Amino acid sequence: MTLNDLHQTKEAEIAARKKIVLRCCQAAGCTSSDSKGVKERLEKAVAEAGLQNEVEVRGVGCMKLCCEGPLVQADPSDALYVKVTPDNAPAIVAALKGGRSTLAQADPHSPFFTLQQSIVLTNCGVIDPERIEAYIAADGYQALHEVLVEMTPKDVVDTIVKSGLRGRGGAGFPTGLKWGTVAKSPGVKKYIICNADEGDPGAFMDRSVLESDPHSILEGMAIAAYAVGADQGFIYVRAEYPLAISRLHNAIRQAKRVGLLGSGIFESPFNFTIDIRIGAGAFVCGEETALMASVEGKRGTPRPRPPFPAERGLWDCPTLINNVETFANIAPILRRGADWFAGIGTEKSKGTKVFALAGKIQNTGLIEVPMGTPLSTIVEHMGGGAPDGGRIKAVQTGGPSGGCIPRQHLDTPVDYESLTKLGSIMGSGGMIVMDETTRMVDVARFFMEFCMDESCGKCIPCRAGTVQMHHLLEKILARQATARDLAKLEELCDMVKNTSLCGLGQTAPNPVLSTLRFFRHEYEELLQPDPHGPRTPATPVPPLTAAN
């Protein structure tokens, strides 16, 4: 493939476009409520109305307002139909010709949509994820061409450094710095890994991106591979995402077919292939060293760092690991420039962040907002607040590694530093809203149980510490604990946080620590008086002189 081919594909695709497009969500959420059936019936209805030449029914990726699915949106009228059933198809088609429809619609100009700023999700819900031509028509693979033909690997790394992009997997490590380290690491063989092991309960951002715009990941990975000098990539995706897996397989096949993966890409000396590795249900494999062990076909247990994967990763070769959303940002940055990207967001957190909004909230779904957007904007304005007139009590971010941010801190801007300051983390982007009926000790116990079940068992603090913390939380909830037990719990939190081998253990106490910080009274209300008075180290042992 050449640049000319790319342009030709794009032009042909645009020329073939019809005046009216009915976009029908074919992501996992909507397909589970028969959006496939909706699409088929829409096609049939279009044919019956004799509109084949004017109307295209297009299967697209996630259209974001998942709670209202299946979703169908008409271009250019913007009408957004919700909870569509196959039987609604004729009415939707009829409405295209100006007929009044009584079908349920959502307002595409509501804050849920208008406050979003799309970089990662630009193509999401717009293009057909199963056709490479659709991605190319949306300027896809142009950045890869530019990189291969006009830039040195160092230029690419410099651009990413300049953009200020930070890893979207949770910790927020500067992406450019990571790339630079891998690029500089000596080694003939290097690897790229895309971490698509989205394990946080309540998070589905990465799944949506994979299902909606798989080529953006392939392009991002290819650019990264060129920048660091790798020729082999792996996408580690969880087995629970069969649709994402099949779309990735399809995308890789298409890219290979047209020569955008393989050897001599864009007639340059650059070779790059991507293989898919399917996870098998282990949360700890989100940790990069555990993930690498799993890619190597081993038990997914982490190992101490250093050495970091950038120096010694897969099969001891320098390896770059980024998550899905990070790779999805790469092509846009190169297409539109580092300065453009760095102009979005806050001083230390650049660009946008995708969140999966869920829990006790009106509008659940997928949102992408600039870094620094206040939490209240996200949950109150975009999310529509708690349902049934309830009141938001806290917002949980970062999954089992994160924390609960209470109502009084909802004005916090969402960026890496601010969330960390509140004892939570950005995490991968799950955002669970809780209302007044939620018991925070129970929330802490839920996450601790998750961490206990997902602990790999390699290091003692995480393996045995989560068991004891979980036991203490159970005891507190059963009203069998005393202040001594609470002190033990806090001490264990500190110890497990500071001594565990990997991120899972180091962050496992976070849900407890953050709920203790903001909702301590909920713990204390459950404590029982110690009949003999506490004899914690704080109260000195009485001197052993004779009784009077």
DSSP 488-506: HHHHHHHHHHHH-SSHHHH
Number of shown-chain residues binding other proteins (CB under 8 A): 58
> Rounded to the nearest whole angstrom, what is the least distance from the CB of residue 496 to other proteins in the complex?
9
Q: Provide the token pair at 107.
A: 């307002």
Give the three-class secondary structure for 239. Answer: coil
Taking the alpha carbons of 170, 174, 179, 185 in that order, is the dihedral positive or negative? Answer: negative
Q: Which of 97, 23, 66 is nearest to 364 (CA)?
A: 66
Q: Which of 87, 82, 86, 69 is nearest to 31 (CA)?
A: 69
Q: Is 448 in the site for other proteins (CB under 8 A)?
A: no
Binders in 233-252 for other proteins, by CB under 8 A: 239
Q: How many CA atoms lie within 13 A of 482 on its CB side?
A: 9
Helical H segments across 109-174, by residue range:
111-114, 132-137, 142-150, 153-163
Binders in 245-284 for other proteins, by CB under 8 A: 277-282
- CA distances from residue 378 to 168, 214, 241 in whole angstroms, order as listed: 18, 26, 27
Q: Is 538 in the site for other proteins (CB under 8 A)?
A: no
Phi, psi of 140 (to 5 degrees): -65, 150
The residue (of 118 and 482) whose beta carbon lies closer to other proteins is 482
Q: Is 186 in the site for other proteins (CB under 8 A)?
A: no
The residue (of 366 and 472) whose beta carbon lies closer to other proteins is 472
Q: Is 461 in the site for other proteins (CB under 8 A)?
A: yes
Binding residue for other proteins, selected from 295, 395, 405, 473, defined by CB under 8 A: 295
Binding residue for other proteins, selected from 122, 364, 401, 455, defined by CB under 8 A: 455
CB-CB contact of 411 with 421 (8 Å): no
The residue (of 78 and 296) whose beta carbon lies closer to other proteins is 296
> Rounded to the nearest whole angstrom, what is the least distance from the CB of residue 291 to other proteins in the complex?
12
Q: Which of 371, 101, 356, 417 is nearest to 209 (CA)?
A: 356
Beta bridge partners of 150: none
Give long-range contacts, CB 8 A cutoff, 24+ apart: 543-546: none
Binding residue for other proteins, selected from 79, 134, 452, 473, defined by CB under 8 A: 452
> Rounded to the nearest whole angstrom, what is the least distance from the CB of residue 525 to other proteins in the complex?
22
Binding residue for other proteins, selected from 323, 500, 507, 510, defined by CB under 8 A: 500
Q: Is 464 in the site for other proteins (CB under 8 A)?
A: yes
Q: Is 478 in the site for other proteins (CB under 8 A)?
A: no
> Rounded to the nearest whole angstrom, what is the least distance from the CB of residue 275 to other proteins in the complex?
10
Q: Is 358 in the site for other proteins (CB under 8 A)?
A: no
Binding residue for other proteins, selected from 249, 421, 498, 525, defined by CB under 8 A: 498
Binders in 306-325 for other proteins, by CB under 8 A: 306
Q: Is 399 in the site for other proteins (CB under 8 A)?
A: no
The residue (of 8 and 498) whose beta carbon lies closer to other proteins is 498
Binding residue for other proteins, selected from 11, 453, 524, 525, defined by CB under 8 A: 453
Binding residue for other proteins, selected from 16, 104, 149, 460, defined by CB under 8 A: 460
The residue behind tokens 């949770």 is: 170
Please enumerate in sequence order all residues whose Cβ is within 8 A of that of 330, keeping only pairs 6 or more positions apart, or say none.
143, 160, 165, 219, 220, 223, 224
Stretch that binds other proteins, among 63-71, 214-222, 225-233, 288-296 (CB under 8 A): 288-296
Q: Is 181 in the site for other proteins (CB under 8 A)?
A: no
The residue (of 47 and 460) whose beta carbon lies closer to other proteins is 460
Give the three-class secondary structure for 190. Answer: coil
Binding residue for other proteins, selected from 328, 459, 508, 526, defined by CB under 8 A: 459
Binders in 5-34 for other proteins, by CB under 8 A: none
Q: Is 107 in the site for other proteins (CB under 8 A)?
A: no
Give the three-class secondary structure for 282. Answer: coil
DSSP 31-79: HTTTHHHHHHHHHHHHHHTT-TTTEEEEEES--S-GGG-S-EEEETT--
Q: Is 533 in the site for other proteins (CB under 8 A)?
A: yes
Which parts of this chain interact with other proteins (CB under 8 A)? 239, 277-282, 294-301, 303-304, 306, 452-461, 463-468, 471, 484, 488, 491-492, 495, 498-501, 530-535, 541-548
